[in-house]
Amino acid sequence: MNSILNIEKDTIVNQTRSFCVEEGLEIVFTHEISKTQLQIISERTKKLPAMYHASVGMLYDRLKNGCCLLMKDEEIYAHIFAHRHTIQNHSVYERSSLWVHKRYRNNNLGLLLMDCLTKRFTKEFLISIAQEPTVHHNNELLGMQYITLKDLSPVLVETLEEIGKLRDEHMYKYYVNPYFESKINKFNKILIK
């Protein structure tokens, strides 16, 4: 990984952790959230146009992969989940339902949560498909690698289409974690019909 980006990321993450301590926000990785909280999160994803709607059932399912939360006085002030896609018996994870309470926005908490979750998936295939330059920059800070669809086997591209993840590369960029990148050729070979 680019060491300058790594230093930049570590600096931001450490500053943000200090901010959390000052604000009394606790970073938690968990597989458990109450049904009431899941209903609130689901409603939130429905109401906010920037988010993909996740039903309570979908969130329950994603909880199995764990999620990162920022908690204070038993309230959830920020969350990020991991969505598991199955590609021919292989699990490919995607971060999902990132949200930060308005009170705490623009303090790099979004990046902190992305970092928290990304670290949990270093031995798994992790992919990010996004439009916003900030997300691309954050992915680079997190050591993820930009890839184009031509780097992937036709079978994987076809599967991305089947699971509704094929995007226009003029608008969207694909990033994968170092594990995915290191296995990309092997993964492409495995995925032969």
Ligand X SMILES: CC(C)(COP(=O)(O)OP(=O)(O)OC[C@H]1O[C@@H](n2cnc3c(N)ncnc32)[C@H](O)[C@@H]1OP(=O)(O)O)[C@@H](O)C(=O)NCCC(=O)NCCS
Give yes or no for residue 134 binding ligand X (CB under 6 A).
yes
* The token pair that represents 42 in the structure block: 């689901």
Task: Identify which range of 61-69, 84-92, 131-139, 147-155 contacts ligand X by CB under 6 A.
Answer: 131-139
Task: Identify which range of 30-38, 47-55, 81-89, 146-154 contacts ligand X by CB under 6 A.
Answer: 47-55
Tokens 């709607």: give the residue. 53
One of 38, 59, 69, 100 touching ligand X (CB under 6 A): 100
Give yes or no for residue 51 binding ligand X (CB under 6 A).
yes
One of 93, 99, 121, 175 touching ligand X (CB under 6 A): 99
User: In the bound complex, what is the minimum distance in angstroms from residue 135's beta carbon to ligand X?
Assistant: 5
Give yes or no for residue 48 binding ligand X (CB under 6 A).
yes
Give yes or no for residue 110 binding ligand X (CB under 6 A).
yes
CA distance 53 to 44: 8
CA distance 137 to 142: 9
Q: What is the DSSP string of 90-141?
A: EEEEEEEEEEE-GGGTTSSHHHHHHHHHHHHTTTSEEEEEE--HHHHHHHHH
- Exposure string over 46-69, b if 16+ CB within 10 A, otherwise e: eeeeeeeebeeebbeebbebbbbb
User: In the bound complex, what is the minimum distance in angstroms from residue 184's beta carbon to ligand X?
Assistant: 24
One of 20, 67, 70, 108 touching ligand X (CB under 6 A): 108
Give yes or no for residue 105 binding ligand X (CB under 6 A).
yes
Give yes or no for residue 98 binding ligand X (CB under 6 A).
yes
Residue number, 100 or 152, with CB nearest to ligand X: 100
Phi, psi dihedrals of residue 176, rounded to the nearest 5°: -125, 155
Give yes or no for residue 107 binding ligand X (CB under 6 A).
yes
Q: Helix-strand-coil percent breakdown of the chain, rounded to 5?
A: 45, 25, 30
Residue number, 94 or 181, with CB nearest to ligand X: 94
Contacts of 133 (CB under 8 A, 6+ apart): none
Contacting positions for ligand X (CB under 6 A): 48, 50-51, 98-100, 105-111, 132, 134-135
